[in-house]
Amino acid sequence: MRAAIRVEGAGTKAWLWIRGDRPDGSLSFIDTMQNQPITTSEWSYCQLDSRAAEDSASISFGFLVAGSGKVWVDDASFNVIRSDPPEAPRALTETGLANLTAFARLLGAVRHFHPSDRAAQTDWDAFAILGVRVVEGAATAEDLAATLRSLFEPIAPTIRIFPTGRPPELPSDLRPPSAPGLQMIRWNHYGVGLRSTPWTFHSERVSAPVAGAQAPAGFLDPAQPYQAEIGRGLSAWVPLSLYADAQGTLPHASSPASSDVFRWVIEDRATRLGGVILAWSVVQNFYPYFDVVSTDWPAALATALASAATDSSAADYQRTFERLVAAQKDGHGYVWWQSGAGPAVYNLPLVWDWVEGQLVLTRVMADAAGLGIGDRVLRIDGRTVEQVKAETEELVSGATPQWVLWSALPIMAQCNGRTMQLEVEPWSSPGTTRTVELNCGFYSDWSEPRPGTVQELEPGILYVDLVKLTDADWAAALPSLQAAKGIVFDLRGYPLTAVYLQHLTRTPLLSEQFIVPSPLKPDRVDLAFTTERGSFDPLEPYLTARRVFLTDGRAYSGSETVMAAVEAYKLAEIVGAATAGTNGTINYNDLPAGFRVTFTGVKTLKQYGSQHHGVGIHPTIPATRTRRGIAALQDEVLLRGLEVVKWPAPGPTPAITAAGVVNAANFAGGAVAPGEMVTIFGSDLGPTQIALASYQLSGYLARSVGDAKVFFDDVQAPIVHAVATQVTAIVPYKRGATTRVRVEVQGRSSNEVTSQWQRRRRASSHTAAGPKRSW
Amino acid sequence: MAASAPGVFAYGGRPQAVVVNADASFNSASNPAARGSFVALFATGEGATTPEGVDGKLPVPDKWPAPAADLSVTFGGAPGEVLFKGLIFAGVLQVNVRVPQNAPVGDAVPLTLTVGSVSSAAGRTIALK
């Protein structure tokens, strides 16, 4: 059964159902699509595949509604499902790969950008899979062109496929018509609307009246079709606007659309290949981050096709998709079975973390006899943890190493069977090993112990766990938060609410910039965007307490919306590690045979326009855990936050001396340059023993070392080292024409050097006077 | 803010620049570089880069940010052929340059890096043979 459905009303869901009854009235079969409810206000087709019991005397059908909204159903139909015999795994030839690559490129362009009626009505799952079966075997480029024409011209009569450099005559239906009253039609994309796309995104065809020879505003000239280079020496013209009369786009279809319905199975090779093509082509045309991720997306298609051709199990095919999605380098890139379709996943009764280059147990459930917190895992089912980690991370999509790691850690704890063997070095017996056989089960809580959701850590210092905090918790805690001297917000994870931000500001806070791709052309050519942003408006009471936000690579997406506001508006010190570098609304692409792949459908830039994806929010005070601390049941990041929230600590005031700020390579004075490593001389600029910086897991140099921070025009700079008499830092890029420099140690600020201040050359036996430079 | 402020790293308290010879050994008076060979020197203060520099980021191999302004290296006034220029760490520029055949030889040949219109301070040297 197939029908178009839409719903209106917040929280309203609808399902199709179908049932058969025997002559005596008893139930012979029943099916619903309860795992895939329709929740969007856009019309979308849904399909309920049922095996009708032969003893059914009657079939009934309908839909179910949950919620108080309205549901519309239209264009319902019954079809006999075609289920072709599955084709066995078989390796792709080089020619077959080139043919399927050409097919993938053309399919994406026609499916998403060619506005013919028949293309818009096409069952693209069937088109892709049946197309694979005929396209792959084309022996020559001429054969391929002929096969592609036979596939595409019935649904897109004005496309042309030709040897590159030998363009054909333009189809007459693309020239300005003489008939009056015509419309022009094109696709309008806001992101891309797919079968299960959330409401944020949509794709629909739009039209405008044609007046004269010029295309209406916002429409591309049909006589200037997009030229796609599809490989094997072939090009394709794909018109991106079409003329239409009252009966539809021109020329009118010569044959009715097929009403065949299929049942796709992963065991079928063409189904797997078609799924890859459908997934790849959506990302090829709509993924907004190819400008900042380093990936060879065409190569990813070739790898995935070759793999899908020979996959011999659903698990193999899942890994094929995981590798493809990993190539997106997208923290929102997931592969999963649609609800209820996948196998059960068991995992170990423990939580672990990658600490000081080791896999260390941070929590042990009661079922994990023989293990202790702080134990180091050496082997998992006989393989080294390094091997397991590397293999797992290969299958994780992420824009930053910290997100890939945090995503991989729980996956590493998933069991292949019902038991798993760990070899550990107990914290209590260094240098010894122990092998433990563990039973696997459903352990869903991947978190370490933390204080209560809102808890006073010390007199006047409150802790707020933003991963658990609800609006009601916040409202209840507000009076005590208002009286607090310090608040430690813990956002090492995903928040349920962001209401607290509104109590940390007296002026509206703009969100990051969310930029939705609105392409008119395939392959992201001339890609246009629509920018949206929200704001967090202030609420009373304003909280005057000193604040710290704890965060790390687990903070992604919505967490980063919060952390970006904290960073941009300097609402608090940020203690911990860099966030995931993944924000923007997620989109879903449901594929034949039950897989769903996801991608970030919106590009996010930080408040002031800098890159978010792959960067994230970096701590102002880096803090990490140690194995020793874990074994002592200490949350060292929290302890660091507790220390920082009480700054400024008592102590001497740092001072930059007259010798001031010099080039770190030659100690020459003068105006600083962006990216220059400079040394700042003075007193009490850092600890008594030199503290050296290191690159963080994120690949960034720390911005605080030995409790010292350096600011250029109020922008915190990366630091190389700090000691009482000098601190070496790197001048941030994109500073203004003036540069004010100051050092902060444990919250105590030095004097500020301004652009008017004339630096004197540092007396040094090993530097000679250079060209005189001034600020 | 200056467009560039180049400085060549040296061993503390000495004019000898930190230079790696073509055989991966460190340049010194007892291990001079031959004219015609290439050497690698390390500097900071190159200013804007392409691709644009990101504060504190460890550069990604094969995508080393390179100074946006023109860059040159002279050995006792003789210009060398720059083979590579790029940030290898935050704030650290590596320049691979071929020593010209007409460069002077000696234990302390003046070494100057120029980025844009600004040259590094005099006083850095390299050993050449």
For chains A and B, count residue pairs whose Cβ atoms are closer than 8 Å: 141
Residues β-bridged to residue A709: A744
Quick check: A672 and B56 CB within 8 A?
A: no
- A444-448, A456-460, A476-480, B39-43: range with lowest mean pLDDT: A444-448
Distance CA A247, CA A388 (A): 59
DSSP character at residue A696: -
pTM value is 0.86
When CB atoms are compared, the residue of A294, A668, A735 closest to B7 is A668
Burial class (CB within 10 angstroms; exposed 0-12, middle 13-18, buried 19+) of B118: buried
Spans of all domains in chain A: 2-78, 83-170+182-329, 350-439, 454-644, 655-749
| Confidence at A761, pLDDT banded by 50, 70, 90 | very low
* Record: fold of A350-439: Pdz3 Domain (2.30.42)
pLDDT value, residue A342: 63
Q: Looking at this protein, which amino acid is placed at residue A530?
A: T
**From residue A44, how far is each of A33, A47, A257, A449 by CA, in Å?**
14, 10, 18, 44
Give contacts of B87 with chain A, Cβ < 8 Å.
675
- Nearest-CA distance from A766 to chain B in Å? 5
When CB atoms are compared, the residue of B5, B12, B87 closest to A673 is B5
Q: Nearest residue on chain A to B4, judged by CA atoms?
A: A673
Best residue in A294, A666, A726 for a mutation probing chain B (most B CBs within 10 Å): A666
Question: According to the CATH classification, is domain A655-749 in 1.20.120?
Answer: no
What digits encode the pLDDT tens for the residues A191-233?
Answer: 999 987 777 899 999 999 998 888 999 999 999 999 999 999 9
| Confidence at A735, pLDDT banded by 50, 70, 90 | low
Quick check: A700 and B48 CB within 8 A?
A: no
When CB atoms are compared, the residue of A672, A673, A699 closest to B58 is A699
Quick check: A700 and B57 CB within 8 A?
A: yes
What is the assigned CATH class of domain A454-644? alpha beta
Contact A462, A480 (CB under 8 A): yes
Distance CA B7, CA B93 (A): 10
pLDDT value, residue A617: 97
Quick check: B1 and A666 CB within 8 A?
A: no
When CB atoms are compared, the residue of B45, B52, B122 closest to A673 is B45
Distance CA A44, CA A194 (A): 9
Burial class (CB within 10 angstroms; exposed 0-12, middle 13-18, buried 19+) of A140: exposed
Quick check: B5 and A670 CB within 8 A?
A: yes
The DSSP secondary structure of A116-148, one letter per residue, reads -HHHHH--HHHHHHHHHHHHTT--SHHHHHHHH
Q: What is the ipTM of this complex?
A: 0.96
Quick check: B63 and A294 CB within 8 A?
A: yes
Distance CA A279, CA A128 (A): 11
Distance CA A97, CA A305 (A): 7
The DSSP secondary structure of B59-114, one letter per residue, reads PPTT---EESS-EEEEETTEEPEEEEEEEEETTEEEEEEEPPTTS--EEEEEEEEE
Q: Which of A346, A382, A349 is nearest to A368 (CA)?
A: A349
Contact A79, A261 (CB under 8 A): yes
A705 touches chain B (CB under 8 A): no
What digits encode the pLDDT tens for the residues A644-693?
Answer: 999 999 999 999 987 689 999 999 888 899 999 999 999 999 999 999 98
Give contacts of A665 with chain B, Cβ < 8 Å.
7-10, 42-45, 120
Q: Is the model's pLDDT at A241 over the cut of 50? A: yes
What digits encode the pLDDT tens for the residues B30-88?
Answer: 999 999 999 999 999 999 999 988 999 999 888 899 999 999 999 999 999 999 999 99
Contact A407, A396 (CB under 8 A): yes
DSSP character at residue A502: G
Distance CA B50, CA B65 (A): 5
Contact A741, A712 (CB under 8 A): yes
SS3 for A302?
Answer: helix
Quick check: A701 and B56 CB within 8 A?
A: yes
Distance CA A423, CA B103 (A): 62
Residue bearing the bigger pLDDT, A42 or B72: B72
Q: Nearest residue on chain A to B12, judged by CA atoms?
A: A766
Distance CA A634, CA A627 (A): 10
When CB atoms are compared, the residue of B8, B53, B122 closest to A733 is B53
Distance CA B18, CA B40 (A): 9
Residue A639 makes CB contacts below 8 A (sequence gap 6+) with none
Average confidence score pLDDT of chain A: 91
Contact A330, A365 (CB under 8 A): no
B15 touches chain A (CB under 8 A): yes
What digits encode the pLDDT tens for the residues A282-308?
Answer: 999 999 999 999 899 999 999 999 999
